[in-house]
Structure 1
């Protein structure tokens, strides 16, 4: 039962403090401080949302206590308040400022016979710091600073402009804008509605803090100080940040990766603070842990994924268990390698771009694999000895892709990496020979080494190995000796297989006609420009390529390399290339792409008239 007569009705949109201010005006015609003291409530206890003060107000006014608490931040600890089931920090609220919409107050003033102090209601959601726009009238809220001791009492009948011209002028002065999506999300969630599931799973204050911080960095730069932003700037930050966070973890991660990619690294080694600025520093302090929700974890993972950090490095409260990324310098130091040679090899293997910045990071395990290959690298000079064969046969193995250079198919590889081979590759070839040719004490009298068999069959030594690896040459054996030099084959069998099976042109002959290096020729094959006839193996997955002369002639008629310019146009390769450059003709395939410049015949005809 109300102790105050007559009963004064509580509005479901207003806060308890607003209701108390209107009670004072209705029952005493005076101000709130004296009224609260008269009914046994300490004014600042009411401002602070002390449970006892709210209970006493409910008692004297005859109003349901739960209804008052529903719209009022109730203090539950030091700088902590409970509002509609959410425990929120003090900074979540606009206090000590008083926020209001002058257009809403103008509507309140239209109440018949109502004095502004009796009818002006402070809406409960105006107390939220994130609420800066009136959702009903689409104008910015007015925010009054606390300018005297009682400045937090929400007495809008006295602190806001008087009805009529003064209030209308204030309405006209407020910028028009829609409510921000972040504000709408917060109010809706406090009203019990659902939003994006990923955001709903986080504490409400963490969502707001993270959205405004992320949005501020995106909108105003990594060096922004959120505390120095104006209300309008924070409103913009919230709009930008919420648009990103509403996309969930994937959207946030994409944004952070975009910030990393956009950063100009220069020659110095950048750290997380340099790249992400305030976004990182605001979350890295001991007092900040947990205050930005899932954004902290995502940023930490992005840092682990993008920076070459040592195992055991701690970032935003989490420890990196093992290194994920290396730079050339860190990998060379770890593996005890020459960084210059290692860099060339990493470029060749595609882990580091050719225009690599000093601190470019790449996958640590992939880098260690390359480093291990480099440690067992066999240079082209040493290749014949490692294989136990002649120089021509070693070159043929490389040219026909039975051995893969450490540089792979990268035409921009340089130095020793261009033709060097990992020991594992060599071991693989020798193992295949061992599997296909059993070891014997004495070979049959008519069996000969590879080179002799190739000479008798009028083919290349690598063709003999193709026949062996493809399961077509079945009676080969090995005698005591090193590598391929120990292999003995039946020359008659080789000759018969070459005649019956290896018809057409070899890759060496086809690429010779085109006047392109082997890597360029195979690039044309891999791209479907030059067709080959595939000879499947009798066992296993070994493939032999042979080329029809007409197909090679077709490609040769359409694509011209500078190496053919002398026979076709009577000019040297340098002169030919210079003519094409001056005519601004780009190659159909460039050296950077495939290892040789190739021009369309139509372009050369247009430039040279031939």
Structure 2
């Protein structure tokens, strides 16, 4: 393309879309119209398309390499490359544009033309909230959901020019935080020499923010909300608690957990989004370094056992007990147990935190088993956290036979029977922090559906109920959750021939839309039948359809339970499962595999099926 007669100079750290907006304004056009006239779509320049940016460089008379140097490049889906770093769209393409009023006024002092002020690309980054040059916070300039309108920088700046020049946008000055200085150094290729240099900058930013939010909860009495203007301080807190290395992170986690809650609240209840996002929302392997630190910390310092779930991986064997969990399991008074463990050298101190002080469960097992005592029916109910009505109903159906019976004395049970019964029902359960989306306790399910508790427990033990939850806000029997819709379908309420697609999808770890597509493409067999309420014909997953699905497919959730490995570990490059994911020809299903492929390249069922 030929050089335009009217051009503008490329600004310091200016991205291509800002340059195009200014060039268009210099020629009396909006960025979109300018792009249409030269067959150079503004949206392509916003996405950092190399060919589009090179053509723009020819029009504007600037070096293509200089134009691309500070331009975010869209790599696909929501990922962008910027300054040799990878960023999510939320971190590099904000709906609200921020900037430094002092920088923009300096541009106008040099030349008061409308097209002279330019955007600095580092203003786009969500973690940066400061102008290092002027030591003032970046301020909100405008917010616009439409991409081409939002990034037409000169057109939008014209609308607020009066406020800018009159100082109405100015804020109180402050120095850049150590974290902000670190991010700027990374963008300019200046390594710090610390352990964060080997980790993706986006990952460092995310972890520092989430750790900072967990720390701030101490000051906000458990509330995690942070005002956008205070975000820089939150991230700085997380940075200070983690910049020196993994040992510092582990020490910070230990301090936080003892002040934020108790183990019975679960990791999500104690650490909040720090745990929730790393466990469920950040599947990329680049986050594994922090995920493993958090996971190993919990397994090492928490009294987790069967029925618990850590980072998507069910805990199948207890490694550590606390005084509280051991006392509950063996039916012993906390104070008596602590004295005994101290005398046996298991605990170092005669006094301490019964919730958080942990000890080796295997080493203490002989001592604890020697304490197993006989308890009455009332004591057993209290230990199990079960109502008398449910306990007696289960006894009437053959559950809980007493260890000792005599005609002239009340029956007695072993104290460990309570924990063993609950642990078996919670094996592989999902941790549930908020009892929504159809979750019901056994007490609620029996009351609402008018069934006996043994009917539900039989379904759990047979594996027919696959969606089992452990409510983190309760203990024992009261913590067992079932999905009402799945339970209804298994009890054949309303003569429905099977599971609805939504319930089926949830029970095997698929998304409802994903299951619908697999049915539409003929990969999942269904049974057509009238809906008992609406009478319209719809698809159900009958028992035979479910058996056919499990003989053909291995969902990631089921594979995790079969192997005892977390889904993050299963999807790690070491196993190569990423390349084995099932594809229906158009869509690749990241959480679904064919058994035929797995048995050829990964693992076999027993007996093996061809």
Alpha-carbon shift at residue 101 of structure 1 (Å):
0.7
2:199, 2:179 → 1: CA distance? Answer: 14
With over 3 angstroms needed to count, the CA separation of the structure-2 counterparts of 1:144 and 1:271, relative to structure 1, is same
**Correspondence list, 1:188-337, <5 A:** 188-221=185-218, 229-263=226-260, 265=262, 269-285=264-280, 287-288=282-283, 290=285, 292-310=287-305, 314-317=309-312, 323-328=318-323
Alpha-carbon shift at residue 275 of structure 1 (Å):
2.3
SS of the residue corresponding to residue 362 of structure 1 reads strand
Residue 159 (structure 1) aligned with residue 157 (structure 2): yes
2:33, 2:237 → 1: CA distance? Answer: 45
With over 3 angstroms needed to count, the CA separation of the structure-2 counterparts of 1:310 and 1:260, relative to structure 1, is same
1:8, 1:341 → 2: CA distance? Answer: 81
Match of residue 472 from structure 1 = none
2:258, 2:327 → 1: CA distance? Answer: 25
Match of residue 50 from structure 1 = 49
TM-score scaled by structure 2? 0.54
Q: Which sections of structure 2, spanning at least 5 residues, go unmatched?
A: 373-610
Alpha-carbon shift at residue 327 of structure 1 (Å):
3.4
Q: Is the 8 A contact 2:8 2:23 kept in 1?
A: yes
Q: Is the 8 A contact 1:39 1:60 kept in 2?
A: no
Q: Is the 8 A contact 1:210 1:293 kept in 2?
A: no
Alpha-carbon shift at residue 196 of structure 1 (Å):
4.2
2:136, 2:256 → 1: CA distance? Answer: 33
1:201, 1:79 → 2: CA distance? Answer: 23
Match of residue 106 from structure 2 = 107
Q: Is the 8 A contact 2:115 2:154 kept in 1?
A: no
Structure (1 or 2) with the larger CA radius of gyration: 1
1:321, 1:190 → 2: CA distance? Answer: 44
Residue 13 (structure 1) aligned with residue 13 (structure 2): yes
Alpha-carbon shift at residue 326 of structure 1 (Å):
1.6
Q: Is the 8 A contact 2:217 2:223 kept in 1?
A: no
Match of residue 168 from structure 1 = 166
Q: Deviations over 1:29-63 (max 9, x none)?
A: 33322212111122222223233432321232232
With over 3 angstroms needed to count, the CA separation of the structure-2 counterparts of 1:325 and 1:128, relative to structure 1, is same
1:293, 1:156 → 2: CA distance? Answer: 41
**Correspondence list, 1:127-526, <5 A:** 127-147=124-144, 149=146, 150-156=148-154, 158-159=156-157, 166-171=164-169, 173-221=170-218, 229-263=226-260, 265=262, 269-285=264-280, 287-288=282-283, 290=285, 292-310=287-305, 314-317=309-312, 323-328=318-323, 342-349=337-344, 351-352=346-347, 353-355=349-351, 359=355, 360-368=357-365, 370-371=367-368
SS of the residue corresponding to residue 13 of structure 1 reads coil
Between Structure 1 and Structure 2, the one with more strand by share is 2
Q: Deviations over 1:306-334 (max 9, x none)?
A: 21123796412557686431235755798
RMSD: 3.4
Match of residue 433 from structure 1 = none
Q: Is the 8 A contact 1:12 1:67 kept in 2?
A: no
Q: Is the 8 A contact 1:215 1:241 kept in 2?
A: yes
2:163, 2:86 → 1: CA distance? Answer: 41
Match of residue 89 from structure 2 = 90
2:331, 2:274 → 1: CA distance? Answer: 37
Alpha-carbon shift at residue 232 of structure 1 (Å):
1.4
1:341, 1:223 → 2: CA distance? Answer: 33
2:17, 2:311 → 1: CA distance? Answer: 40
Q: Is the 8 A contact 1:311 1:320 kept in 2?
A: yes
SS of the residue corresponding to residue 245 of structure 1 reads coil
TM-score scaled by structure 1? 0.54
2:100, 2:302 → 1: CA distance? Answer: 48
Alpha-carbon shift at residue 154 of structure 1 (Å):
4.0
1:326, 1:11 → 2: CA distance? Answer: 61
SS of the residue corresponding to residue 131 of structure 1 reads coil
SS of the residue corresponding to residue 98 of structure 1 reads strand
Match of residue 466 from structure 2 = none
Q: Deviations over 1:73-109 (max 9, x none)?
A: 1111111111122222101115222121110011001
Q: Is the 8 A contact 1:102 1:170 kept in 2?
A: no
Match of residue 385 from structure 1 = none
Q: Is the 8 A contact 1:225 1:278 kept in 2?
A: no
Match of residue 521 from structure 1 = none
Q: Deviations over 1:546-566 (max 9, x none)?
A: xxxxxxxxxxxxxxxxxxxxx
1:320, 1:196 → 2: CA distance? Answer: 37
With over 3 angstroms needed to count, the CA separation of the structure-2 counterparts of 1:286 and 1:71, relative to structure 1, is closer
SS of the residue corresponding to residue 14 of structure 1 reads coil
2:191, 2:308 → 1: CA distance? Answer: 38
Q: Is the 8 A contact 1:290 1:296 kept in 2?
A: no
Q: Is the 8 A contact 1:105 1:120 kept in 2?
A: yes
